[in-house]
Structure 1
Amino acid sequence: MLRLMAVDDEWIEREGLKKIIANECPGADVVAEAANGRQAIETALEAEPDIILMDIKMPGIDGVEAVTEIKKNLPNTRFIMVSAFDTFEYAKNVMQQGVKEYLLKPSRKQEVVAAVRRVEREIVEESRQVAEKQYLERQFNKALKFMQSEWALSMLVDHMQDLDLTEWSELLDINITCGYAMVIDFRQANDRDKSFAWVKEYIRNHSKDVQLFSPNHEEKLPVFFLSDQLTGTDKSEFLSYVLPFVRNLLHQFEKQTGIRMHVGIGTPYASTDEMNRSYHEALHALEHIKSSDQVTYLFADKNNHHQSPEVYAFKREKELLDAVKNGDISTALEQYSLYLKDQQVDGLGILTAKMNELFIIVTRMMNDMGIQAERFDHFSHFHSYSELEEKCVHELRRMVEKVNTWRAVHAKGKLGSAMDYMKEKYANPLTLEEVAAHVDLSPYYLSKLFKEKKGVTFIEYLTGIRVGKAKELMNDPVHSLKEICFKVGYKDPNYFSRVFKKKVGRSPNQYRKQAQFKK
């Protein structure tokens, strides 16, 4: 219901306006009235009307002054000015307040109704635009959050990204100079979900950098930071920047929970391709943490070709994981043998712990791929290094064979099912998560399958379906371009036009005209 207020120093004028609105404007109601400017200001604050019909010439505070005061507290209220004086000066003063409607006394019924309807349409259109803007913002934020989550998840396994740091800079409207990783260890936390939530909230509120949280965690939370505060080349600059933040995080967490957690920190890099390396540095920093420490960090010397054993070790680890991921048993066993030789540990117990960590990582990677890997049972005590190695080789062979079988039997069929589902549901607001859930794959691995098997991203494939269908519909002149936009799954005709032009090389209108010309 549209709420109106009538302001005039003559009672008969107010009654006349109220009667016109009641008889001629269904859906509108005069909820308040006032006899002078001061009363109008006070009453408007209480009634909060959508439209005020305001007389200009009144004793004391006139209509123009009243409008100025009311707009300070009710900026969205609209005004229709009513006056017996047809002079330029009055009209100019009213226009300076942003008032567009001006009626002369005595006002004819048709003029009052027309003015109210014009303002009503303006209010409705503005509300529609605000709602559409809010919807688009929600959709953008939802998509951005999903992109950030998927980007962080894929960084864990060094998956090639469509967005580099420059493109993230454009998307987030900040000048990102480098990125680095942290891994936070929650093994001692009693309530891990609650701890995860607290730490995420703290980081969001206190870090100056953009944070990308990985959804893939059990006892550890990987976090990638994109920074516009660092050069990415000065080690001392980075330490003075990041360590106070980490120490405060650890202190506040211990203060809240009474529990000490540990954080590993990776080196900052200016390239997307090296973000996975920062993540592994953070992981290895955690491995070398001492019980008395709260934070450790590990840096490779960028200015020296010689690398520490730890840095070399996690490169071996990456090569081993790639072999497992590809289902290549011979390469996996070869890389495992090299990885084992690179381990510099004192004692069988420490080596057993490192092997446990390695196989936990392999198990997580398999789950990310959509392979339901059994929960890894930690290796316990062994009497010799050879006994440990025999057990590890047996476990590795079993895992790689499972990956190989899954890739050969299930992956191709699941990709086909995913594509069929997208062709059926293209008009809906499809997401990678929804399609992945439909075919029982992880979002990351479904995205990877599209890249490997089809040579395109999930979004590119979906866009191809939608644009192809739009081209079919354009052959039928019955459908308007706006209607086609909605039929193929887009909510914004302008966005649809940009996507179509990027894909086809011509705007929808140009394509339709050319298609009709060929006929």
Structure 2
Amino acid sequence: MFSLLIADDEALEREGLELMIRHLLPDTFTFLHAENGRRAIQLTEEERPDIIFMDIKMPGIQGLEAVRQIKATNPLTKIVMITAHDYFSYAKEGLVLGVRNYLLKPARREEVMDVLQLLIAEKEEERRLRNDQLELQERLSQLLPLAENELALLLMLESVQEVELEQLAGLLNLQWNRGYAMVLSFSKHSRKEWEEFQLAKRGVYEAVKQFAKPNLACITGPMIGYQMALFIPFFPERSGYSQRVISLDWGERLRSFVEERFKLSLSVGIGSIREGWDGISRSYREAVRVCADDNDIICVRHYEDITQSSGQKIISLDDEKKLMDALLRHDKQETAERFGMLYELLEQSEPRPFATLRGEVIGLLLFLCRGIQSGEGGELVSSLNALEDSVSFRRGAQAWLDSLIDGLQEKRERSRSHVLQRALLYIGQNYKEEISMEQTAEYVNLSPHYFSKLFKQHADENFIDYVTRLRMNEAKLLIMEERLSLKEICYEVGYKDPNYFSRVFKKATGITPSEYRQQMDKQSPC
């Protein structure tokens, strides 16, 4: 159903036009009448009609002026001017203003019908497009929180894939890639506190999100275990020191908000400001490292304050890279040695709670998970956070490193096995044709040099010997069948020169193809 406003100073004209349209298109319109331009403007503002039939010459506000004002506030309304021949020049001006069409008085039924059908089709298409747009917006509104969650998880678990991160940032319309992380750590010091947190967990998460996002323009991560992360943009107009003070102030506000509203203890760790998604992910690891222990008198701590004032030793990027390199080379001994050295470096820093040491080591392990593109970061955090003493924690961390290396080796073997199986299948399907090692290497997307080494390692023979063995075995079977000549068999198994085939056959079996056939004939019971 559509609404149609008829604006004409003659009541007889309005009623006649309505009667005509009701007859032409029954049950299609609801009708509104305006006797002048002022009333047409008022009804349009109140009722927002889909279509207006506007007489160009009316007392008071003329039709064209009414059109100008209506189009200013209701640009989607379809307007048809009705005019006599004397005012046709005005009708052309109306078209410039956005009038969709015009009719000459007295309007003929066919013309009215044509105009209305055209406008109805346009309005239906507009409604369809609008519905599609609203549906898309609804789906996008449901997708955006998932995209934000995914982006936060990639940063938290240090699975920094620049392409994926940029896509998610683009979807979220994020115009920043410089910032810092803030980690909220809820107390689990006593069983009672942990149970209270579990009961309030969902409400706490939503409340913190609603409190933080409008004020900090931040990305909020999911609640993992007893921690929640915020990723906050850096405002260029503020200095780094000023931003540090502001971030500490906001950390204190969040702590007070949670403790006052939910009666839960909260400690806050804040990382340093860093460039790029990789840097912001590192800031998260810093925030995890300095999350205050429940018993610490300082409940909101900034990484730069702690490292510059407490004398804590910081693991250098070079040390991290050397550990990563040992891990990627699957060298368990060197990995264990380097990890042990870094663990002791952290452990021997300024005395501090075990929870802080645990956060730093977990952050280091997350960095390694990211480097090898392991998806086990969430499980790592969950399992190691459950360990409450240094001995079992260090043993568990080392076990995780060993399992990461085992996983890498298994993945490599699976990958190599898969590549070899594809290569063997390709050879089996094509060895009767011209086939080369280079063709096969290209098929499995490896360089010829690497493929050659890999093939020999797993097949215990080189490529040429393997293909030759397949061809000779096939030739023996065909010779035994006695349905093809030796020359035909030569071509059948992939050779073009019978003499060359004969030499290869003799080298492989010790006798020529004809001698082999004679032997088979002698052994035949017939």
Partner of 1:95: 95
1:197-253 Cα offsets, whole Å, 9 max, x none, are 11112221111x4x233336221112222335357xx53232244344334333444
Q: What is the CA–CA distance in structure 2 between the aligned matches of 1:352 and 1:246, rounded to whole Å? A: 19
Q: 1:112 to 1:347 in 2, by over 3 A?
A: closer
TM-score computed with the length of structure 1 as normaliser:
0.62
CA contact (8 A) 2:148 2:168 kept: no
Partner of 1:514: none
User: Is 1:197 aligned with 2:227?
Assistant: no
CA contact (8 A) 2:330 2:405 kept: yes
Q: 1:238 to 1:396 in 2, by over 3 A?
A: closer
The Cα shift of 1:369 comes to 5.6
Q: 1:403 to 1:288 in 2, by over 3 A?
A: same
Partner of 1:420: none
CA contact (8 A) 2:54 2:63 kept: yes
Partner of 1:264: 269
Of residues 199, 218, 222 in structure 2, which corresponds to 1:215? Answer: 222
Partner of 1:239: 244
Q: Secondary structure at the match of 2:162?
A: coil
User: Is 1:83 aligned with 2:113?
Assistant: no
Q: What is the CA–CA distance in structure 2 between the aligned matches of 1:271 and 1:293, rounded to whole Å? A: 30
Of residues 268, 284, 287 in structure 2, which corresponds to 1:279? Answer: 284
CA contact (8 A) 2:144 2:172 kept: no
The Cα shift of 1:147 comes to 4.5
1:225 alignment partner AA: I
The Cα shift of 1:410 comes to 8.7
Partner of 1:123: 123
Q: Secondary structure at the match of 1:222?
A: strand
Matches within 5 A, 1:364-443: 368=376, 375=383, 378-379=386-387, 389=391, 391-392=392-393, 394-396=395-397, 398-400=399-401
The Cα shift of 1:148 comes to 4.0
User: Is 1:64 aligned with 2:64?
Assistant: yes
Of residues 215, 226, 236 in structure 2, which corresponds to 1:206? Answer: 215
Matches within 5 A, 1:467-506: none
CA contact (8 A) 2:147 2:168 kept: no
1:104-130 Cα offsets, whole Å, 9 max, x none, are 110011111111122223323333444
Q: Secondary structure at the match of 1:126?
A: helix
Matches within 5 A, 1:316-355: 329-344=332-347, 350-351=353-354, 354-355=357-358
CA contact (8 A) 1:175 1:228 kept: no
2:266 alignment partner AA: M
Partner of 1:55: 55
Aligned length in residues: 405
Q: 1:265 to 1:375 in 2, by over 3 A?
A: closer
1:110 alignment partner AA: E
When Rg is computed on C-alpha atoms for both structures, the one with the higher figure is 2
CA contact (8 A) 2:181 2:230 kept: yes
Partner of 2:303: 298
Higher helix share: 2
CA contact (8 A) 1:4 1:50 kept: yes
Q: Secondary structure at the match of 2:212?
A: helix
Q: 1:140 to 1:332 in 2, by over 3 A?
A: farther
User: Is 1:311 aligned with 2:320?
Assistant: no
Q: Which stretches in structure 2 are left out of the alignment for 5+ residues? A: 188-192, 416-443, 447-526
2:243 alignment partner AA: F
1:158 alignment partner AA: E
Partner of 1:429: none
1:82-122 Cα offsets, whole Å, 9 max, x none, are 12244355225523542121111100111111111222233
CA contact (8 A) 1:80 1:102 kept: yes
1:257 alignment partner AA: F
Q: What is the CA–CA distance in structure 1 between the aligned matches of 2:225 and 2:445, rounded to whole Å? A: 32
1:307-338 Cα offsets, whole Å, 9 max, x none, are 96342289878987998899875455324422
The Cα shift of 1:73 comes to 5.3
1:425-462 Cα offsets, whole Å, 9 max, x none, are xxxxxxxxxxxxxxxxxxxxxxxxxxxx999xxxxxxx
% identical aligned pairs: 25
Matches within 5 A, 1:116-155: 116-134=116-134, 145-155=145-155
Q: 1:380 to 1:93 in 2, by over 3 A?
A: closer
Partner of 1:509: none
Q: 1:165 to 1:240 in 2, by over 3 A?
A: farther
CA contact (8 A) 2:293 2:356 kept: no
2:210 alignment partner AA: E
Q: Secondary structure at the match of 2:5?
A: strand
Q: What is the CA–CA distance in structure 1 between the aligned matches of 2:414 and 2:19, rounded to whole Å? A: 71
Q: What is the CA–CA distance in structure 2 between the aligned matches of 1:164 and 1:308, rounded to whole Å? A: 38
